[in-house]
Structure 1
Amino acid sequence: MQVGAKVSKLAVLVLDGVVTFDLGVPLMVFGSLPDHYELSLCAPEPGAVPSSDGYSLNVDRGLDELLRADTLVVPGYSLDRPIEAATRLALRQAHARGVRMVSICSGVFALAEAGLLDELTVTTHWRAAELLARRHPRVTVNPDVLYIDHGQVLTSAGASAGLDLCLHVVRRDHGAVAANTAARFAVAAPHRAGGQRQYIKRAMPQASGRSLARTQEWALRHLGEELSIPRLAKHAVMSERTFARRFVEETGVSPKQWLLAARLDLAKQLLESGNTGIDEITRRVGLGTPANFRARFRKATGTSPTAYRRTFSQP
């Protein structure tokens, strides 16, 4: 979506037993960008909708809102009983019309019941993954990732992974600057790749108080320099082997993967916010030669730096 495009309509479907945290995430992320998104809440029937926390929410719009939306978000909800036939039909009609479908946590079950996920690989909260696979055998469930983007259908794991997916949607629609604006509002990390693991079994940390946050912050200030594993490990005051192991435990990705994502994120911000030349951007993000930068950028985004700047540059 190019800068200057019309504000897109984003509807949030509130189902019985809605998980209030999951509901709050899209309201916070997309609500912080009123110049880009027009938010509305809808329910199978307007009126009081019971939440997972025992109180009811008043929703004044019905299923017709799905057909007016550009994007539909389905937060997690109680799985005690199937969704009603009218809701399944409305979801199918919205999907056929081209509405983008985004689920958070157990919201994926509604899309599956509507038959929108057959032959797709999706994710949900790791605790619900087995139930989803059992109820919908034509759906492939990956319980080990934060979110999966199929273009028109996007699914996320539980809790904070819904925040990651919503920020990913903003980044896809409006670029890194808009996503970072929403992330700052939510006091969240601007970008976690969808392929990161959603649940990492860890031993209890030792009482030394060591953390890699300080080294990560330092690395972000020195992306233009050579940041080898030995140099990062030295900054963290760890052996290389311990540093590499601890990094994967804390982030779910290797130091090299994390650095590449950070460098490309900075490159996107530089492309969006000014007229900095490709040679200078390459130097500042530490990706060697302009040719290497272009190749890495295209592989990660599917487009060239020049085309990205043309699409997302600020007025």
Structure 2
Amino acid sequence: MRGVYIAKATASGLRRNLTMTLALVITSAIAAAFVLLGALVTQMATAAKQAYLDEAVVLVQLEEQISAEDADCSGRLCAQLRARLEQDPAVVEVTFRNRAQSYARFVELFQDQDPDLVADTPEDALPAAFQVRLADPTDASAVTALADAPGVATVSDQAAEARAASRNLDAARTVAFGIAALQAVAALFLIANLVQISAFHRATDLSIMRMVGASRWFSAAPFVAEAALAVLAGVAVAAGAVAAAKHFLIDPALQDLYASGLLVPLADATVWHALPWVAGGSVAGAVAAALVGVAGYVKA
């Protein structure tokens, strides 16, 4: 019997305040959508870091004299540079590639992608180099400091672009979560106002219910249910919209970057894994805001 009453009162309240309910659904949907988009960006940033930063190396290219005359890094200058790198605690591994090995690696990488480039590149065009793997791929300062050392031609940090892309993704994630937070605050105020308006129209009924012994929780239940259902509807709309946007807009737009390996494809499951947490947090916030909004009408 109590459940029937709560269901009827909830339906009546939603119909009575239809425009505000729709506004709450839209506001909740925007907030939830940005949270889900933030989850997608977070997944992309994490995958990019794992795929590129963990495998990235710093390439220390050596001057022409070393490249031409020291094929096994036994010369004084090359050996000193190698020892300096190997003794640095920030360095995990140092691999020396002479000129012939550098050219072989170049052919391996570009033979299929650009055979004309390989054909036009002479075998002595590439310098000898140290391939340096770091303990912390996000900090290459220990190796880039060698840029001005004798015998060093250039220092190429392969992780630099990956770190820049990661920073951009982190910034996009922060913006998404920031907008979601602002929309969530707006939704909470909207819930409180919606509940207060609904409670005002039923103030007499609430007073009678309290007089005949109805508990505060029972009296407040229809208003809490209104807020929770509206917010859940918004989350459902957001989930559908984000899933559709990922499938029809985001993935096609990033397809070339996926194919080239510059970005790791987004997992479809990310949205659905985040959805229970978003829905649970949204309902909890809606319940709290509804209780605050109706508190003045059920306190007696």
TM-score (norm 1): 0.20
Which is richer in helix? 2
Larger Rg, first or second structure (1 or 2): 2
TM-score (norm 2): 0.21
Which is richer in strand? 1
